[in-house]
């Protein structure tokens, strides 16, 4: 069975809906999203935390569509264009402002759906989160074990729910181990190629209403960052699990290709930039 892994990452996309923070006009939304200090922080999160895992996936057969507006300020637009030129798995879609956010997301994803695939594994990825280096390979493997559930309805969610919550502050990065079901990151929604939907068409907190849901609690699969710019600034429900500090450092390196000291520096840097413009 041919499984296409296809994800969507919104990088400061300019649209009126699809975010928890409301704005009364497109001009107000543009001023918020394109604030120079905010964009600098988002770029740091994207390049330091999110990007390394995608660059080093053990299974390179996937597509991550980065969706932004055609008027994204420089140097961020040229930076995304440069990344898409050298990484065949990264596709840049410049979507003009659209009132209906799900239609905008579908406009970004639809050109990249492989009609020859038997099933498409849709996933969403925020620009300030990270997935493990074997996320794509593991999602494919685990789907193969439960594909009969998908066959029944043409819909199935596969939730790799063991993760780390990264809370950023002036003192650095604080990690809280959590098993958090249907968090959104490392969550794959398997649909037929003709479904004309993306992962964002399904509220990840209410997935059992629409499809069978399988939760896989090992191995460690995601990092979700929580900081002043987060669209949702809390950890949400979940179960704690324990990890020793030295084991945490090893897991950051082995599972995500990340260095603890670099993440501490990132957390401090974005906190300084944020506090310079407004109180955290």
Give the C-alpha separation, 126 to 267, whole Å: 17
The reported pLDDT for the residue numbered 232 is: 59
CB 224 within 8 A of CB 129: yes
pTM for the model: 0.93
Closest CA to 256 of 5, 56, 7: 56
Q: Per residue of the chain (280 residues), what is the pLDDT tens digit?
A: 999 999 999 999 997 765 556 666 888 889 999 999 999 999 999 999 999 999 999 999 999 999 999 999 999 999 999 999 999 999 999 999 998 999 999 999 999 999 999 999 999 999 999 999 999 999 999 999 999 999 999 999 999 999 999 999 999 999 999 999 999 999 999 999 999 999 999 998 899 999 999 999 999 999 999 988 876 556 677 899 999 999 999 999 999 999 999 999 999 999 876 665 543 2
The reported pLDDT for the residue numbered 246 is: 94
The reported pLDDT for the residue numbered 193 is: 97
- 187 — alpha (psi -120 to 50), left (phi > 0) or beta? beta
Domain assignments of the chain as residue spans, ordered by start: 3-277
- The CATH number of the structural domain formed by 3-277 is 3.90.550
Angle (CA) 166 183 190, round 5°: 135
In which residue are the tokens 């193969």 written?
Answer: 144
Residue 170, Cβ density class (10 Å: 0-12 exposed, 13-18 middle, ≥19 buried): exposed
The reported pLDDT for the residue numbered 238 is: 86
Give the C-alpha separation, 170 to 178, whole Å: 22
The reported pLDDT for the residue numbered 197 is: 96
The reported pLDDT for the residue numbered 280 is: 29
36-45 vs 260-277: helix crossing angle, rounded to 10: 170
């Amino acid at each position: 069975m041919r499984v296409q892994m296809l994800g969507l990452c919104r990088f400061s996309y300019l649209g009126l809906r699809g975010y928890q923070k409301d704005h009364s006009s497109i001009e107000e939304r543009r001023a918020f999203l394109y604030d120079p200090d905010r964009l600098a922080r988002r770029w740091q999160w994207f390049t330091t935390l999110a990007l390394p895992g995608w660059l080093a996936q053990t299974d390179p057969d996937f597509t991550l569509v980065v969706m932004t507006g055609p008027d994204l300020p420089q140097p961020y637009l040229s930076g995304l264009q440069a990344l898409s030129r050298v990484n065949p798995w990264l596709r840049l879609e410049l979507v003009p402002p659209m009132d209906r956010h799900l239609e905008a997301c579908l406009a970004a994803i639809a050109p990249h759906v492989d009609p020859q695939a038997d099933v498409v594994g849709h996933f969403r990825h925020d620009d300030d989160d990270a997935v493990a280096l074997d996320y794509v390979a593991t999602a494919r493997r685990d789907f193969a074990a439960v594909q009969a559930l998908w066959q029944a309805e043409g819909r199935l969610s596969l939730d790799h729910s063991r993760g780390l919550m990264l809370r950023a502050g002036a003192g650095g990065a604080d990690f809280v181990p959590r098993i958090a079901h249907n968090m959104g990151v490392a969550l794959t929604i398997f649909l037929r190629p003709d479904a004309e939907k993306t992962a964002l068409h399904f509220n990840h907190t209410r997935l059992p209403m629409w499809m069978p849901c399988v939760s896989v609690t090992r191995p460690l699969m995601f990092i979700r960052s929580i900081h002043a710019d987060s669209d949702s600034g809390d950890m949400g429900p979940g179960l704690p699990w324990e990890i020793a500090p030295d084991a945490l450092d090893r897991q950051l390196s082995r599972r995500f290709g990340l260095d603890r000291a670099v993440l501490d520096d990132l957390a401090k840097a974005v906190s300084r930039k944020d506090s310079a413009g407004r109180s955290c």
